[in-house]
Structure 1
Amino acid sequence: MAWQQFTITLVSLSLISLLIRYGVVSGIRISDVSNISSGFLPSPADGSRHTNMLLPLFPPKDTSRRAEISRRHLQKSPASARMSLHDDLLINGYYTTHIWIGTPPQKFALIVDTGSTVTYVPCSSCEKCGNHQDPKFQPEKSSTYQSVKCDKTCPCDLKRQQCIYERRYAEMSSSFGLLGEDVISFGNLSELGPQRAVFGCEIAETGDLYSQRADGIMGLGRGDVSIVDQLVGKHVISDSFSLCYGGMDFGGGAMVLGGIKPPAHMVFTKSYFGRSLGWQQPVLQY
C-alpha cells in the first residue's frame, strides 16, 4: 500500500503544481496532499466550513478542427511578383515594367494598363510594327514557345489553325496578332518564379502603339488571357495586384502581382461587381 500512496502523492503534487501555475488554487501545504485522493481540497486554515471541489481534467474529445486549423497555418501563402516601374506620365505618357519571355529569356518593356486584358509584344514576323526600345520577340529561338491552337473558345486565323486577338483603343490605335504560350519571368525582385502564360505575338499595330518607345502592353484587366487572371487561375498568386506610381515629376514606382500585407492606415473602397468588372482600389489615408 505504501507504493500506491506514493504514486497518488506524486500525481497529486503534479496536479497541484499545474493548478497553482494557472492561478486555480494557492497556499496548499504539502502535508495536505494525502487528503486530495478523496477528490476534495482540504478546508481552509481559518476554520470555515465550505469545501473546495477538485474537478478532473480531460483532453478534448474532438481535435479534428484544431488539427485542420494547424494545417492551414502550415500551408505556404501564395507568392507575389514584385516588379519595378519605369518612365513617367509627363515625358512618356505611361509607366512601364519589364518582363522576360521564352527560353532563353527575351526582355521587353511593357506599358502597365489596367484597362487591357491581353499582354502582347511585337513578333519577329511583324511587318507593320514600329521601332521600339527592344528587339522583337523571336518565337523560333525559344525552346519553350507553343502556339495556341484554334478551337471553339477563341477567334481563329484565316487558316483556322491558331487563336488570334485584336484590340482597338479610344485614341484610334490598334493591335492585332496571334496568341502563343511561353515561360514568362518577372525579374530579380519577384518571389514568384517563371510561369507559363498565354500572350499576344503582334503582327500589326497602328496609331500610338506603332510610334511609342515601349515594346507593348501588359494587360492587367479582367479576362481569360489577362496575365493576372492566368496566374490566379494557377493558384500561384492571390486575386489582387498593387500599383505605386512614383509621381509625374520623377516617375518610376513599383508593382506587385498578388497579395501584400497592407499597412494599418490603408482603407479599401467597395467594388460593386454587379455593375463593374473593376478591381477594388485601396485608398491611403494620411
Structure 2
Amino acid sequence: MLIHIVVDKEKRLKGKYGALEIPQIDEVISTIDWAISNNIALLPGDDLQYLQKLRKSLILLMSKTLDRALSTHEADITKHDMFISNLSNLSETQGVDIISLNYDLLLDHAIYRKTQKLPHYGLNKKRPNTGYRLYKLHGSLNWAVCPFCQQIRTFSDKVAHKLFETQKRCQSCISTNLEPVLITPTMLKDYNIPELPRVWNEAFQALSTATKLVFVGYSLPPADFAIIELIKRAIHMKLRLEEVHVIDIDRDLEDRYKKIFGNKVSSNMNGFSGELL
C-alpha cells in the first residue's frame, strides 16, 4: 500500500520507475506526517483515517524489518559485550549513563548478560546511583505504551512487531491495546508520550554533569533538532564538559561536532570496536 503510493507519485512526476527514485524512509514518513498534520490528501480519495492507517502500517513494516535484521546481527554480540564489560568498574562505583537513539536491544541484552537485569531506562523508577542507565530517547523495540492510561510497559525482548497481531495487557489498567513506542524518522517528530519526558529529563541531567562525552555512530542529522538542542542546553547548564570523542567511519563528521563543541573534539574514524578510549 505504501509502496504503491510512493511509486505512483514518482511515476506521475518523472514518468518512469527506478530504484534511485524511491525516497528514503524519513522522506516518506515526513510526507505522511505533514499530510496528517495539515489534513491534506496525498492522492485523490485519501482521507485522514486512511493516512493514519498508512502510517501505522509503516511502523509495523519498520518493526518487522528491524526484528529480522537484528535477529541476524544479535549473533555478533562480541563488541557490545566487551563495551559493557569494560564499563563494569565504573558502573559499580558511580554508574554509567548511556544515551541511545536506536530502537534495537543490542546494548540492553549486553547489560542483561552482564548483570542479569535490564538497565534503568528512566521511565518510572528513581534514578539509581550505580549500575547501567540507558536512556533511549526515540523509544525501544521492547517498550509498549497504553493509549488509555499512557503508561509505558517494558519487556525483556522485542515486542513492537507483535503488538499489531497479539494483544498485550497493560499492567496499570484493563487495556489490551498496547502500541509500540517508536519515535519515527521524520522531520516532524512527535514526542507526545507522557512518560517519555522523564527519559529526556534524566538524559539532560546526565549530559549536564558529564566531563566527557563519547558519540558512537551519530551524524547529528538536521531531523534530530530536538536532540541537538538538548545536548547544547545541557552542556551549557553547568559548563563541566572537558572532552568530546567521536567514533565513526565518516571523516567529515568531525567538522560538524566542532561547530558545537569547538576544540574539545577528538575522533576515531575506524568505527566501533567495543573498546574503551
Query: Fold-level match, TM-score > 0.5?
Result: no
TM-score by length of 1: 0.22
Question: Which structure has more strand as a fraction of its residues?
Answer: 1
Question: Which structure has more helix as a fraction of its residues?
Answer: 2
Q: Rg larger in 1 or in 2?
A: 1
TM-score by length of 2: 0.22
